[in-house]
Amino acid sequence: MSTRGAIARQKGDTFEGRYHHWDSYPTGLGKALWDVYHEQFQDNLDEMLRVLIDEHPAGWSSIVGKDFAVTPGYNDYGKGNCLKCGRLAWEHYYQDWESHGKKLTAKARKDMANGRYMALEHPFEGPESNNAECYCHGDRHEEAFLVTEENAAGSGCEYAYVFAENGKLIMTILSSLNEDESKMIGMFGMGNPEAKWGVLAIVPLDGPEPDWKNIERGS
Ligand SMILES: [Zn+2]
Ligand SMILES: [Zn+2]
């Protein structure tokens, strides 16, 4: 199950940024943003936001646990050679044979009739890759998508990580609230009655690392 989120810049009392598909809860994406800011971007917020928001306009599949020293890009599953046997992904599955020009053998047909599709008796093991995965580079080339306060919840985003304006070292974690309206304090304390987002935590980037589990429990 994906947990969707947004990585964004504050724009007055709203925000603008990019979509992030997997593990976007505070212990996932929240901690990942903290780590890449301090480690890979060495506390350079402008540079981090340039990469995370401007250079990858289609947004992210995942940056959690990824290495920004490697060029970001999407990794199509099944690319490359199997680590176990060296063959290509499609060779491992009978149902992929014919579309790749390989005739089904009598054994293959019999296996398939019995619900067995694994031609080599093991699943394909793709090469490990730890580059951040976006939707605009590598094996995906999708259109730019600007996530805003207005469309974020509609795109399934449950969390938004919003970096303050004017170089202030603050990351505000917002959560989309729909049921418990008493928690609705509005974005950035603005008290907007129409707000779909509530403040979960305000994280100073030059302070000590927060307890992400605690933040998550507050959602
Ligand atoms: Zn294999
Ligand atoms: Zn990209």
DSSP letter string, 144-177: P--EEHHHHGGGTEEEEEEEPSTT--EEEEEEE-
- Residue 178's pLDDT is 54
Q: Separation of 85 CA from ligand 1 center, angstroms?
A: 4
Q: What is the dihedral of CA 72, 73, 74, 76, to 10 degrees?
A: -110
**Confidence (pTM):** 0.81
- pLDDT digits over 117-158, tens only? 999 999 999 887 899 999 999 999 999 999 998 888 888 889
Distance 50 CA to ligand 2 centre (A): 12
Query: Where are the domains positioned within the chain?
Result: 4-55+142-217, 76-128
Tokens for 97, please give them. 């044979």
> Which ligand sits closest to the CA of 136?
2
DSSP for 80-118 reads SB-TTT--BGGGGBGGGTGGGTPPPPHHHHHHHHTT--B
Q: Indicate which ligand has the atom closest to the C-alpha of 81.
A: 1
Q: How far is residue 139 CA from its own chain's centroid?
A: 16
Q: How far is the CA of 103 from the centre of ligand 1 (A)?
A: 19
